[in-house]
Structure 1
Amino acid sequence: MMTNSSRQPDRAGVLRAAEKIAALLPPTPLLPLQIGDRTIWCKAENLQPVGAFKIRGAWHRLTDLDQAERTCGVVGVSSGNHAQGVAWAARRLGIAATIVMPVDAPRVKLDATRALGAQVVLYDRPGGEDREAVAARLVAESGATLVHAFADPWVIEGQGSTGIEIAAQMEKLDGGGPDLLVCPCGGGGLSAGLALACPDASVVPVEPEGWDTMRRSLAAGEVTPIGADPPATPCDSLQPMSTSAINLGVLKNRVNLVATVTPAEVRAAQRLAFSRLRLVVEPGGAAALAAVLTGKVAVTERTAVVLSGGNTDPAAFAQVLLGSD
């Protein structure tokens, strides 16, 4: 797994990232949702300018580049949400961006990334092509800085700014910060960032069934990839083959539970978010809510759930709303 630096993420970095984000963007809403006799708080990161929380880590990383690094540009690897975050930040800062994306990424994400001015290089995920190797070649050819979707200390800190906002919003709205944070998990950038941001809260990452690299890695005490022939999942944003040592290092002493959710459970959560919160949430973005709705994660007095993204094809979302499973 490629990383940009031997530097380790820390809470001071999360606080610095939160200051940067606060100067750039308004906080995303924190919405109450009644689950049985409890109220949980849903962080609507799907309402970010790029439709996902990934704008946070991208902005923190790119604004810390020096002038020489900016001149050489950046390379990102993403199925679409991180791609848009990097492309958005790069355009605002005048930095050239190249994004390595899978050929089967949702069309809405490919089109949005290109519309933001980034060059897109496709790789064959279904055919087993190594996206890390593609990115390494591009970095070697151009001298660009790799902005990894999760295995990067700045990216982790930037994603952690979500937790700083949640804590401040819950304090204002409910008289205290979260004691439980439930979040979708791909490689673990958001999970690790939240763990640094809110050291007194429990963190529960939620992965799609069969794509449980974080669960496997925490159980083994070392980075462990997913199994062979993982099942199809609608959660395109949560499909890395493995987490990274930097993410595992943050989470290994902070996480006691990793939940997994099925496609049907994710679709049910998408429908509930639409009907009860009036939000369009993509499959991966609804994974944490799905885990709470099914009781796989027990709700506490002060639970916050991250709705991490809303970039979904209209036709696919319409099919979810029309479904009954």
Structure 2
Amino acid sequence: MRTPSFPPRFKGILGKDFGKCLGPTQSVSRTVAAASFTFRRGYNQLGTGTAVVPNRRARVEMSDSKAALRLRAIQGHMQNKAISSAASSSSSASSSSSSPAPQPTSQQRSLDFSALASLMPKEANNTTATSLWYVVATAALLSFHQEPAVGELWKYINGLNNCDQTTRVTIARRIRECCLKASVLVGFPRGINSLSSLQSSIESNSPDLLPVLSKDTSMRAPVPLEEKLKRGKHFFSQIYSNHTDRILANMGKSSGGDLSDFAIRSVYGELMGEMRILNPMETVMMEFVCCLADDVAPQAKGHFFGCRNLGATGQQVLGAVELVREIARQLGLDRPGNGDHFGFLAKAETW
């Protein structure tokens, strides 16, 4: 191996002051030669993995001198350079070796929406303005972090032969309302992204609906605060029945009183309590699905029984559970709602 050349910053370090660092019996040429030999030897040993240890003579001649410090700096530089080169070669060899092809992610998978619709009672091949399957599917997609799939859901529905313009406008509003209501359960950013996905899909696939949908205005803004508070408390009580006071007390105790107030005023009064597009049963079903897909058993249990309290049949609840699990299967995700803490799901078979 040839003697390495040093970087520009090391040029001239053995200058005119170098001789002052030597003892009376030493010569510059002898010390430089010894140092040069030491570094050549050490540099060659770097490639073999042998530890670089200067010989005894070099240590004696170069100790406590400025030149020694400078030469050690050069040695350290060359050692780091050799190690870096070896690491680079190892990385290149590793990357060139055969490796399995990357597996497709869940976001790259296409969903079979017709199979999902068939899981809800009486809704297979019969999607209507009041169908429940696409409400359940929308809530599950948001919970599984698949907001772009909401646009694909709309594309599928828009292509159905039995959906005229009036039906499609109603369905678009229902999916939009589901995204809005689900946002408090799955995360506000996901609600925003799902609504954006739906809007983009409508613009691309259903431009004829835009003149109608663009005229929609807020249904919640004009409602007086007193009315929102009243409807929030009423809907919350419908879901939790005789457990309402206990649940609100526990929520307040754990949060200094704020969580229970926020739930009644904002979550249920402002958001969930608006029933002109999604009725109470559809809204609590959406809440149940979000909690089930997210595997939060305590909240899923409360809304599971809330579905029954608000008129859902056992077959509708079981269909919703299977639809959520089928989406998870198609996406390659873990099956939600497993384990003893989800044992309550079996009760729907007796409803």
Common topology (TM > 0.5): no
Which structure dedicates a bigger proportion of its chain to helix? 2
Question: Normalized against structure 1, the TM-score is what?
Answer: 0.30
Which structure dedicates a bigger proportion of its chain to strand? 1
Q: Identify which of structures 1 and 2 has the higher relative contact order when contacts are C-alpha pairs closer than 8 Å and 6+ apart.
A: 1
Which entry has the higher C-alpha Rg, 1 or 2?
Answer: 2
